[in-house]
Structure 1
Amino acid sequence: MNAEDRPATQGAPDAAAGTRASGRLAEMNPAWLRTMLLHLFQDLDEAVVVADADRRITLVNPAAARLFGYSTEELVGQPSRLLYDSSNAHAEQGRQRYNAGADASHEAYIVRYRRKDGATFDGETIGGPVEDPQGGQPIFLGIIRDVSSRLSSEGAIDRLHRITSDRALDFQARCKAILNLGCEQFGLQAALISRRDGDEYELIEAIDPEGGASAGERIPAGHTYCAIALAHDVPIGFHDISDSELADHECYRQFGFEAYLGVTIYVDGERYGALGFFGTAPTAPFTRRELDLAGMFAQWLGHEIARQADLQAMRAMQDKLSRLATIDDLTGLGNRRLATERLEAQLQRARRRNDSFAVALVDFDHFKRLNDSHGHAAGDAALRLFAEIARRSMRGSDFIGRWGGEEFIAVLEDDCPPSAIRGVERLVEAVRATPLRLDSGDLPLTVSAGVVISLPGESAEDIVARADAALYQAKSSGRDRVVLGPGPSESNTPEPTPG
């Protein structure tokens, strides 16, 4: 601040200052000025500053003194530069509005001002020259409203919209970004989103500089302010908890947060949980605008949570439909469609790696006889039992699915015939050792299998045809066994007869 911008006196003005102020008022036609002061400015909520042709302050109303933090006596007689945050802004307004030739339309504009304590604020101002009706020098009138809070809220709402519209962020990232924005906006250090679950609250997301809270943590209702927020339909704020009814709360005793701003989160019209912001030190009382903004944050989070629930439900339905399309209802194993996809995928992988793999076709022995003698329910039970045995005896990296009827196909990662044979033999032996329990007694079961190792250049159809030929050989040679299949030139053997 330049020397000429400083108040001429500190505290009460001297007589000379009062004389100077009175002289300037006299120069400005005291009759209409007095009327204006008494009837217009004195009780206005907006700050009013009047300056003379030299842009020295000649009049301020009480609201202006409060806004800028000076007494009326400290302002009158000072250059109006005293009120601006920068000399450039003061000079620019002088060129645009505060000169004798300026347009008197008095359109609103926003400029940065500075208070006596050095704090700055954005002031929405209507100002410009007011002509003296008797032809004397004009005066300059400015009506100022502090809109810092409004502009800050509007900026926060814009950032909130960008966060929730950013498809590059997943649900957790959007929640964390909203919490960070709220902490910055309200000047608080910690925040959480909670979901009520009986007598506990599950943290959906949290920001805690001390590292004491994290997503997924569950907190008893008595240890958090969330229940207090849920008890209200409007946002609540405590700027100094030590001097409030929350001073005896368990959360205050445990964590010592001195400020709290809480809002109920509604999802699809139902109370879901709470949004809370916490401060490590007392703050200024929360304004209505801040409470309303916190309510807006909670509303947007409610939309985010509802949208996430809808996405999860949709994905679950898609998974279910996909499962229905690829899983055999009777056995729970993959169906022919999924088996074909896995076979093609393994074939492509083997081609990329110049590698081989094994395929086995497994078929029940005398399955028609089982159905004819014991009924189709027994046949279905035998197929389900086989599926259970296969899941237990085969490796997690291998695949087995229902190829059709009582026939199953296995895709194995083995490229060594002895290893592939041994893996399928364990399955055959497990079936042999596990009879089907019926009301009439235990019924022994056996299966036969044909195994082949893929060859370079083969198609999936070629591989299955050779496995089918190997299965025919297993059936023809006595059943209840595993046969390693022939090469490609030998694969035109007739298909085995059922059973």
Structure 2
Amino acid sequence: MVVWEQKLYHAMFNALSDAVVFTNCQQKIQLVNAAFLTLFGHAVAEVLGQAFDVLYADRADNTVQATIDDHGDVAETAKPFDVQYRRRDGSSFIGETMVTVVKDVEGHRVGSLVVIRDITARRQADSLLQANLARLAKKHRYEAIISSVAHSVHQSTSLQAVLDHAVDAMRTHIAHIDGIEIFLLEGQEAVLKAHCGLPEWLVAEIQRLPAPQGYT
């Protein structure tokens, strides 16, 4: 019965799709599953008995050990966190990592179970999504500003009113902006026509500036 149970546990351990590592209390690798061998490219003999930090892209990274230390002797799974790991071929990947303290029947801590999932593709997709959202938000802000200014052009015959409205539109639709200035070229000078968020002394200093070269 004991042999059968051991075979069953071994089969279940190797059936897991995520890489799993069991380390002792000194963070030495004692057991790995088949998914670990596939993900990292190591043979079993290359990692057994090695310190867990041999798997880090940067061996100075102590994220897993710090999590185990913070977790103490509580037999719970810590929240997932990201670690940069290195494969046998030198390539690296982002691994979503979960650590569970393992105890014996008497409640004594005997080691830790570390579950690692390669989420590099997910992180890249997240970054691409965020970049696309930022680009769309920027496009939306510009469209809103242009629409607002165009509306004011049709509603007003005063150029100054249009410029003031443009400043208000930019202030409304552009986040984290401290100051806005609109200059118009008059001959060889750029003349400040509308602004917001500027101290009075600066407004006085930049009322008229030499026209930038190359602009018409």
In structure 2, the gaps of 5 or more residues are 155-185, 188-216
Quick one: distance in 1 between partners of 2:57 and 2:8? 28
1:70 and 2:72 are equivalent in the alignment: no
Q: Which residue of 2 aligns with 1:213?
A: none
Give the CA RMSD over aligned residues. Answer: 3.4
The offset of 1:88, in angstroms, is 3.4
1:105 and 2:76 are equivalent in the alignment: yes
Quick one: distance in 2 between partners of 1:118 and 1:94? 22
1:126 and 2:123 are equivalent in the alignment: no
1:141 and 2:109 are equivalent in the alignment: no
Q: Which amino acid aligns with 1:161?
A: L
- Normalised by the length of structure 2, the TM-score is 0.58
* Aligned partner (choices 130, 135, 138) of residue 163 of structure 1: 135
- Normalised by the length of structure 1, the TM-score is 0.26
The offset of 1:155, in angstroms, is 1.1
Q: Which residue of 1 aligns with 2:125?
A: 153
Q: Residues 35 and 135 of structure 1: is their aligned pair in 2 closer, same or farther, counting only changes over 3 Å? A: farther
Q: Residues 100 and 123 of structure 1: is their aligned pair in 2 closer, same or farther, counting only changes over 3 Å? A: closer
Q: Deviations over 1:336-382 (max 9, x none)?
A: xxxxxxxxxxxxxxxx99xxxxxxxxxxxxxxxxxxxxxxxxxxxxx
Contact in 2 for aligned 1:48/1:142 (Cα 8 Å):
yes
Q: Residues 39 and 168 of structure 1: is their aligned pair in 2 closer, same or farther, counting only changes over 3 Å? A: closer
1:96 and 2:63 are equivalent in the alignment: no
In structure 1, the gaps of 5 or more residues are 1-29, 172-310, 323-351, 354-499
Q: Residues 105 and 152 of structure 1: is their aligned pair in 2 closer, same or farther, counting only changes over 3 Å? A: same
The offset of 1:83, in angstroms, is 0.8
Q: Which amino acid aligns with 2:115?
A: I
Q: Deviations over 1:172-204 (max 9, x none)?
A: xxxxxxxxxxxxxxxxxxxxxxxxxxxxxxxxx
Q: Which residue of 2 aligns with 1:86?
A: 58
Q: Residues 121 and 64 of structure 1: is their aligned pair in 2 closer, same or farther, counting only changes over 3 Å? A: same
Q: Residues 100 and 150 of structure 1: is their aligned pair in 2 closer, same or farther, counting only changes over 3 Å? A: closer
Quick one: distance in 1 between partners of 2:83 and 2:4? 29
Q: Residues 36 and 124 of structure 1: is their aligned pair in 2 closer, same or farther, counting only changes over 3 Å? A: farther
Q: Which amino acid aligns with 1:162?
A: A
Q: Which amino acid aligns with 1:133?
A: V
Structure of larger gyration radius: 1
The offset of 1:100, in angstroms, is 8.3
Q: Residues 37 and 59 of structure 1: is their aligned pair in 2 closer, same or farther, counting only changes over 3 Å? A: farther
The offset of 1:119, in angstroms, is 1.2
Quick one: distance in 1 between partners of 2:113 and 2:5? 12
Contact in 2 for aligned 1:132/1:139 (Cα 8 Å):
no
Quick one: distance in 2 between partners of 1:158 and 1:47? 28
Contact in 2 for aligned 1:81/1:87 (Cα 8 Å):
yes
Specify the SS of the correspondent of 1:138: strand
Quick one: distance in 1 between partners of 2:69 and 2:40? 20
Greater relative contact order (Cα 8 A, min sep 6): structure 1 or 2? 2
How many pairs are equivalent?
147
The offset of 1:153, in angstroms, is 0.4
The offset of 1:34, in angstroms, is 3.4
Contact in 2 for aligned 1:98/1:129 (Cα 8 Å):
no
